[in-house]
Amino acid sequence: MYKLLLAWRYLRSRYIALASIVSVTLGVATLVVVNSVMSGFTTEMHKRLHGILSDIEFSGSGLGEIHDVDGHLADIKQILGDDLECASAIVRVPALVHQQFHGRMITQQLMLIGIDAETYGKVSDFSPYLLAEQHRNQPAFDLLESGYDERLGDEAGWDYRRRYTQFQREQRRLMNEAYGISGDSGVVENLDESAFVESDDESSQPAASGVVFTPLPAQPPVIVSDGETSIDSPPRVVTSPPSGNDPFAAARSREQGHIFDPMVEQHPGIILGVALSSRKFHDPETNEVREVFIDRPGDDVQITLPSSGTPPRPTAGIFTVVDYYESQMHEYDSTLAFVELKELQRLRRMIAPDGSASVTSIQIKLRPGADLDEAHRKLVAAFPPDVYPYQIQSWRDVQGPLLAAVQMEITILNILLFMIIAVAGFGILATFFMIVVEKTRDIGIMKALGAPNGGVMSIFLGYGLSLGIVGAGVGIVMGLLFVGYINEIADVVELITGQEVFDPTIYYFNKIPTIVNPWTVCWIALGAMAIAVLASVLPARHAAKLHPVEALRYE
């Protein structure tokens, strides 16, 4: 009883000891914050990595193709049984995108993915990362009238496309006038696609297409008549007309009476990774992060990609940007672009004469709760790598090194921070020795009143424990408050120092993600208390061993 009472009284009357546990408090608070932020980052990353990737990818190794997709899907379904929730076939091919920015061509490399918008959304998160709300609800490759992210302002959608086309036509007309070309009815299209020589394909497939791009302004613009289409007519999606190297294609297309009008028509839609189009930078004048878009939904871009077959030939197509994809994982946002599967198959000539098309990979989503490794093992067993040219990877395999690195980082950070608390433990040790010396006479008194050695020892152990509890408790409260207001704190620090604490251009997180794991907090608290108790063991033993007579004489 007296042990508790005295430990409590010492706690309340010895502020120096409370000062000594400030380091424990700070250590605990730091641990809580670091763990919360790290687990926030990890979880967010896991979620994104996993969301973007399907559970298992069954691919034909790089550009290798999987023929007879339906047969493979049936096999996979049979192998996985109930574990299979959904599968989606995709074509993934490295490509180049050519964007026009202030009259110049920017060429960037990307990974072009042909998807079936309906099934792809089921195997992995796709639509939640689109900028237009309508596309988030119903992913499609159609340009929308409006309703894009507010970051894009009014400069997105059909309205923008019309205005831009109008502007280009006006420019062209002025130029023609200046050069004395009688182009009163001249049409200069969005990406000047009139400069492309469209040619027919050898194959009789009406759907298969390919566009050979001739860079502007190597040829004078082909001036075509304005046609009968009006702005008010509903937007039409046209696939590129049959192409090839037929020099008469353009003429024939005109004969067919179709003239592409960017005022009302769009090319096949493409959804670009946002970092392919957006540039974030610090404005040196205002010192704020500004975002600039190279192109906008409604602009046309040119894609060059290798065709199927050996050796691959470069093929090109024009696409209209219909949306952006922002997963906030820079790796993906800066490399991925999505088009419709059929369109890509057509462009790459992956469609066989009988109408069946090949793909480069099949994305598999497992039923929630299914054993990923087990499913993976089954698939590998059914398609042994020494027989089949297929690569079967779970999402963890794909991102394994990154996940392992992050885990390692967390572990090391935790060890280092616990070292800090251990250092604080030595502070407690020193303070406690001081207090024991100061209390020597009191210890003598208690022994004179019959307190056993163990009792005296437990006073100081209890004191250490209560200091640990106070230190850990305050630390946890501080840490949790810090975590709760971390973004506000970052803002304040930014305001004071003028240095950006959390740079969204680096992380692509607008806010610092945090997750407080109650177990982690528990372990941190227990660890801190254990260290405080351990630090008080030596002083407590010293106190217990004091000789009562000598202790009483101590002045």
Partner 1 sequence: MSDIGTDAKRTPKRRLLVRARNLRTPASETRCDEARDSATGPQIIVRDLHKSYRKARIEIPVLRGVDLCVEAGEFVSIIGSSGSGKSTLLHLLGMLDAPDQGEILFAGKRVDSLSTRQRDRMRNREIGLIFQFYHLLPELTVLENVLMPRMIGSSIWSYPLRRREYRERATHLLEKVGLGHRMNHKPRELSGGEMQRTAIARSLMVSPKLLLADEPTGNLDARNGTDIMRILRELNQTEKLTILMVTHDTEIAAQADSTIRLVEGRVHKSRNGS
* Shortest spacing between CB 427 and partner 1, in angstroms: 23
Report if residue 276 touches partner 1, rule: CB under 8 A: no
Closest CA to 379 of 7, 81, 155: 81
CA–CA dist 409, 415 (Å, integer): 10
Cα angle value 515/521/524 (rounded, 5°): 135
* Interactions with partner 1, residue window 429-448 (CB under 8 A): 441-442, 444-448
Q: Which CB sits closer to partner 1, 298 or 462?
A: 462
* Interactions with partner 1, residue window 118-177 (CB under 8 A): none
Q: Which CB sits closer to partner 1, 10 or 395?
A: 10
| Beta-strand relationship, 336-340 and 269-273 | antiparallel
Q: Which CB sits closer to partner 1, 4 or 402?
A: 4
Rounded to the nearest angstrom, the gap between the alpha carbon of residue 401 and the centroid of all alpha carbons in its chain is 16
Report if residue 4 touches partner 1, rule: CB under 8 A: yes
Query: What are the structure tokens assigned to 56, written together?
Result: 């298992």
Q: Which CB sits closer to partner 1, 348 or 447?
A: 447
Rounded to the nearest angstrom, the gap between the alpha carbon of residue 83 and the centroid of all alpha carbons in its chain is 27
Q: How far is CA 433 from CA 13, 236, 541, in A?
A: 16, 85, 10
Query: Which of these ranges, 2-10, 124-132, 220-228, 423-431, lies near partner 1 under the rule CB under 8 A?
Result: 2-10
| Out of 387, 415, 449, 495, the residue judged to bind partner 1 by CB under 8 A | 449
Report if residue 16 touches partner 1, rule: CB under 8 A: no
Q: Which CB sits closer to partner 1, 8 or 426?
A: 8
Number of residues that bind partner 1 (CB under 8 A): 26
Q: Which CB sits closer to partner 1, 3 or 348?
A: 3
Q: Strand ranges (DSSP E) for 298-360?
A: 300-306, 314-325, 336-340
Query: What are the structure tokens assigned to 239, written together?
Result: 């696939």
Q: What's phi and psi for 110, nearest 5 deg?
A: -155, 175
> Tokens 């704020």 map to which residue?
288
* Shortest spacing between CB 434 and partner 1, in angstroms: 16
Q: Which CB sits closer to partner 1, 444 or 513?
A: 444
* Shortest spacing between CB 538 and partner 1, in angstroms: 21
Q: Strand ranges (DSSP E) for 252-356?
A: 265-266, 269-273, 278-282, 289-293, 300-306, 314-325, 336-340
Query: What are the structure tokens assigned to 122, written together?
Result: 């089921």
* Interactions with partner 1, residue window 519-548 (CB under 8 A): 547-548
Report if residue 506 touches partner 1, rule: CB under 8 A: no
Q: Which CB sits closer to partner 1, 41 or 463?
A: 463
* Shortest spacing between CB 511 and partner 1, in angstroms: 48
CA–CA dist 141, 137 (Å, integer): 13
Closest CA to 210 of 31, 380, 43, 343: 343
CA–CA dist 162, 139 (Å, integer): 23
Rounded to the nearest angstrom, the gap between the alpha carbon of residue 142 and the centroid of all alpha carbons in its chain is 24
Query: Which of these ranges, 3-11, 21-29, 116-124, 508-516, lies near partner 1 under the rule CB under 8 A?
Result: 3-11
* Shortest spacing between CB 498 and partner 1, in angstroms: 50
Q: What's phi and psi for 391, nearest 5 deg?
A: -115, 120
Closest CA to 540 of 435, 422, 425: 435
Query: Which of these ranges, 1-9, 63-71, 248-256, 263-271, lies near partner 1 under the rule CB under 8 A?
Result: 1-9
Report if residue 13 touches partner 1, rule: CB under 8 A: yes
Mask 455-494, x = binds partner 1 (CB under 8 A)? x---------------------------------------
Q: Which CB sits closer to partner 1, 74 or 549?
A: 549
Q: Which CB sits closer to partner 1, 138 or 453?
A: 453
Helix or strand holding residue 393 (H, E): strand 391-394
Report if residue 450 touches partner 1, rule: CB under 8 A: yes
List residues binding partner 1 (CB under 8 A).
1-6, 9-10, 13, 441-442, 444-453, 455, 547-549, 552
